[in-house]
Structure 1
Amino acid sequence: MPRLLATQSHVVHGYVGNKAATFPLQCLGWDVDCCNSVQFSNHTGYGLDKVFGTITRETDLKELLSGLFDNFSQDYQALLSGYLPNKNSVRCMGTYYAKFKEANPEIIWLMDPVMGDEGQLYVSEDVIPEYRKLALSPKQLVDIITPNQFELEILYGEKIKTKEHLKKALEKLHRTIPVIIVTSCDCKMFDDQEFIYCVASMEGKTPIVYRVPFIDSYFTGVGDLFSALLLDRVYKILSNPTTTLEFEDQVNNVLNVIQKVLKITRSYTSEKTKAKMGSASEMKEMELRIVESRDLYETINVHQTDYIYARL
Structure 2
Amino acid sequence: MKKIAAINDLSGIGRCSLSVAIPIISALKVQCCPFPTSILSSQTGYPKFTFLDLTDEMTNYYKVWKDLNINFDCIYSGFLGSSKQIDIVSKFINENPDAFIVVDPIMGDDGELYPIFDEESCLKIKELVKISNLTTPNLTEACFLTGRNITKRNFSRNEVIQIAKDVSKLGPEKVIITGILEDGNISNIAYDKSTDEAFFTSIKYNNRSYSGTGDIFTSILCAMICRGFDLKYGVDIATNFIYKVVEYSSKFNDDRNDGIRFEQFLSYLTNI
Which residues of 2 match residues 153-302 of structure 1 at below 5 A?
153-159=143-149, 161-175=155-169, 176-187=171-182, 192=183, 194-203=184-193, 204-237=195-228, 246-267=230-251, 269=252, 273=253, 282-283=255-256, 286-298=258-270, 300=272
* C-alpha contact 2:176 2:188 (8 A) present in aligned 1: yes
* C-alpha contact 2:9 2:39 (8 A) present in aligned 1: yes
Out of 29, 53, 76, which is 1:80 matched to?
76
2:142 pairs with 1:121: no
Out of 141, 145, 148, which is 2:138 matched to?
148
**CA separation in 2, counterparts of 1:61 and 1:39?**
12
Higher strand share: 2
Question: For 2:19, what is the secondary structure of its paired residue?
Answer: helix
Q: Which residue of 1 aligns with 2:52?
A: 54
Question: For 2:206, what is the secondary structure of its paired residue?
Answer: coil
Moved more, 30-39 or 62-71: 62-71
2:106 pairs with 1:108: no
> For the structure 1 residues 162 and 287, does the alpha-carbon distance in structure 2 shift closer, same or farther, using more than 3 Å as the test?
closer
Q: Which residue of 2 aligns with 1:304?
A: none
Cα shift at 1:172: 2.6
* C-alpha contact 1:253 1:299 (8 A) present in aligned 2: no
Cα shift at 1:20: 0.8
Percent of counterpart pairs with the same letter?
17
**CA separation in 2, counterparts of 1:250 and 1:35?**
23
Give the paired residue count: 264
Q: Which residue of 2 aligns with 1:11?
A: 11
Q: For residue 8 of structure 1, what is the amino acid of its counterpart?
A: N
Q: Which residue of 2 aligns with 1:309?
A: none
Cα shift at 1:186: 4.8
Note the alpha carbon deviations across 1:198-247, whole angstroms, 9 max, x for none. 1011113321112211122221111111111011122223xxxxxxx553
Cα shift at 1:168: 2.9
Cα shift at 1:14: 2.6
**CA separation in 1, counterparts of 2:168 and 2:187?**
20
Normalising to structure 1: TM-score of the pair?
A: 0.78
Which residues of 2 match residues 130-141 of structure 1 at below 5 A?
130-136=124-130, 141=131
**CA separation in 2, counterparts of 1:133 and 1:250?**
26
Question: For 2:264, what is the secondary structure of its paired residue?
Answer: coil
Note the alpha carbon deviations across 1:131-190, whole angstroms, 9 max, x for none. 111223xxxx31111110001111111136444433333223323111111112253xxx
Cα shift at 1:60: 1.3
Q: Gaps (5+ residues) in structure 2?
A: none
* Higher Cα Rg, which structure: 1
Q: For residue 128 of structure 1, what is the amino acid of its counterpart?
A: C
**CA separation in 2, counterparts of 1:33 and 1:133?**
24
**CA separation in 2, counterparts of 1:299 and 1:112?**
26
Q: Which residue of 2 aligns with 1:68?
A: 65
* C-alpha contact 2:21 2:32 (8 A) present in aligned 1: no
Q: For residue 174 of structure 2, what is the amino acid of its counterpart?
A: V
Q: For residue 221 of structure 1, what is the amino acid of its counterpart?
A: G
Q: Gaps (5+ residues) in structure 1?
A: 238-244, 276-281, 301-312
> For the structure 1 residues 60 and 132, does the alpha-carbon distance in structure 2 shift closer, same or farther, using more than 3 Å as the test?
same
**CA separation in 2, counterparts of 1:127 and 1:219?**
26
Question: For 2:172, what is the secondary structure of its paired residue?
Answer: coil
**CA separation in 1, counterparts of 2:126 and 2:88?**
14
**CA separation in 2, counterparts of 1:264 and 1:166?**
30
**CA separation in 1, counterparts of 2:161 and 2:201?**
15
**CA separation in 1, counterparts of 2:146 and 2:66?**
31
Q: Hey, which bits of structure 1, 4+ residues long, moved more than 6 A?
A: none
**CA separation in 1, counterparts of 2:145 and 2:94?**
18
Question: For 2:162, what is the secondary structure of its paired residue?
Answer: helix
* C-alpha contact 1:41 1:52 (8 A) present in aligned 2: yes
Normalising to structure 2: TM-score of the pair?
A: 0.89
Cα shift at 1:21: 0.8
* C-alpha contact 2:2 2:226 (8 A) present in aligned 1: no
